[in-house]
């Protein structure tokens, strides 16, 4: 399972980074299937076990580890390197890729980093998506993310020269310490269908015990542009800070807003944010 926290035999280069780990934000970059999530979870876990106040920020909304797909999640870790349920926050992007959703991706990762610091983290290990396509904004997204977060260390996993458009300017600039690591030959490659099936399974499990709730008609909505939500549209139920209490699927609207959601306590819901896809909660199948 992608991102599962397991005992692994860390390469010497990883151990060296652990030995000289830095406080602040450690940003992990790489294309899909490069092992960056395994590294990020390992570094966060081992640092927490060594006594650091560490948060792990899962910024991959497509292949999410700490929360459901379409959301980014940060969690403070305990002394054993385990996420603390009461010390976590999620931000709803509403899509499974940053492509076409650059702004919420950047806003979300910054808000989650700030929330991690507020919760007491001295180190925030930040995983990112594998979206590095230079022709569709992947390079610019990573560069703006670096500018936004001002990391104390950037760790990049690269096969051959695939990350050169991202790391070369960072290396020449010199403002941010940069380490480029090779991709382990044993890293598993996932097909597009395998990734989609993993998301379907995560969605099925997430909505397994969901119930239908009626929402207040005057609940503030974001992303709606005054239009009714579509049946089956994926939404986030947000708290007063704009973080996602959980996801839901619209069942009805037009004067009778109802949502299928595993969220039980709706009194904390202060707003609704509509996502860009529909979802069949029984099958986990995504739609436009």
User: How does pLDDT run across 221-250, given as a tens digit for each residue?
Assistant: 998 665 678 899 999 999 999 999 999 999
CA distances from 105 to 58, 109, 111, 112, 219 (A): 12, 6, 10, 11, 24
Question: Mean pLDDT across the chain, nearest whole number?
Answer: 93
The tens digit of pLDDT for each residue in 168-195 reads 999 999 999 999 999 988 888 899 999 9
Is the full-model pTM beyond 0.75?
Answer: yes
**Residue 102, Ramachandran bin (φ over 0: left; ψ between -120 and 50: alpha; else beta):** alpha
Q: Would you place residue 253 in the very low, low, confident or very high pLDDT band (cuts 50, 70, 90)? A: low
pLDDT attached to residue 226: 59
Beta-sheet pairing, 271-280 with 233-238: antiparallel
How many Cβ atoms from other residues are within 10 Å of residue 14's Cβ? 19
Checking if the pLDDT of 4 tops 70, the result is no
Nearest to 198 by CA among 70, 102, 69, 73: 69
* Measured distance CA(287)–CA(186) in Å, rounded: 33
* Mean pLDDT value across residues 110-125: 98
* Measured distance CA(43)–CA(154) in Å, rounded: 13
pLDDT attached to residue 53: 96
Checking if the pLDDT of 164 tops 80, the result is yes
Phi, psi torsion values for 242, nearest 5 degrees: 90, 5
Handedness of CA 46, 49, 54, 60 (dihedral sign): positive
Strands, E, within 103-170: which ranges?
Answer: 123-127, 153-158
* Mean pLDDT value across residues 58-77: 97
The tens digit of pLDDT for each residue in 25-38 reads 999 999 999 999 99
CA distances from 256 to 8, 211, 251 (A): 51, 16, 9
């Amino acid at each position: 399972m992608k991102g599962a926290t397991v005992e692994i035999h860390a390469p010497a280069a990883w151990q060296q980074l652990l030995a000289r780990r830095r406080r602040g934000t450690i940003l992990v970059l790489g294309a899909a299937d490069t092992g960056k999530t395994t590294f990020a979870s390992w570094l966060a876990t081992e640092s927490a076990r060594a006594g650091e106040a560490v948060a792990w920020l899962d910024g991959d909304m497509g292949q999410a580890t700490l929360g459901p797909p379409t959301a980014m999640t940060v969690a403070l870790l305990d002394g054993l390197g385990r996420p603390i349920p009461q010390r976590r926050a999620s931000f709803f992007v509403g899509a499974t890729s940053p492509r076409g959703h650059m702004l919420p991706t950047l806003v979300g990762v910054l808000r989650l980093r700030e929330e991690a610091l507020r919760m007491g983290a001295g180190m925030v290990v930040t995983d990112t998506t594998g979206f590095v396509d230079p022709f569709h904004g992947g390079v610019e997204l990573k560069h703006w993310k670096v500018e936004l977060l001002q990391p104390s260390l950037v760790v990049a996993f690269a096969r051959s020269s695939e990350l050169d458009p991202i790391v070369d300017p960072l290396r020449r600039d010199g403002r941010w310490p940069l380490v480029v690591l090779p991709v382990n030959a044993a890293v598993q490659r996932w097909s597009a269908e395998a990734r989609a099936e993993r998301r379907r399974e995560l969605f099925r499990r997430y909505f397994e015990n969901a119930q239908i709730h009626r929402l207040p008609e005057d609940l503030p909505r974001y992303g709606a542009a005054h239009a009714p939500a579509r049946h089956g549209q994926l939404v986030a139920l947000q708290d007063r800070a704009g973080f996602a209490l959980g996801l839901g699927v619209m069942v009805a609207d037009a004067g009778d807003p109802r949502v299928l959601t595993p969220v039980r306590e709706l009194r904390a819901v202060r707003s609704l944010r509509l996502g860009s896809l529909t979802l069949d909660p029984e099958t986990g199948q995504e739609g436009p």
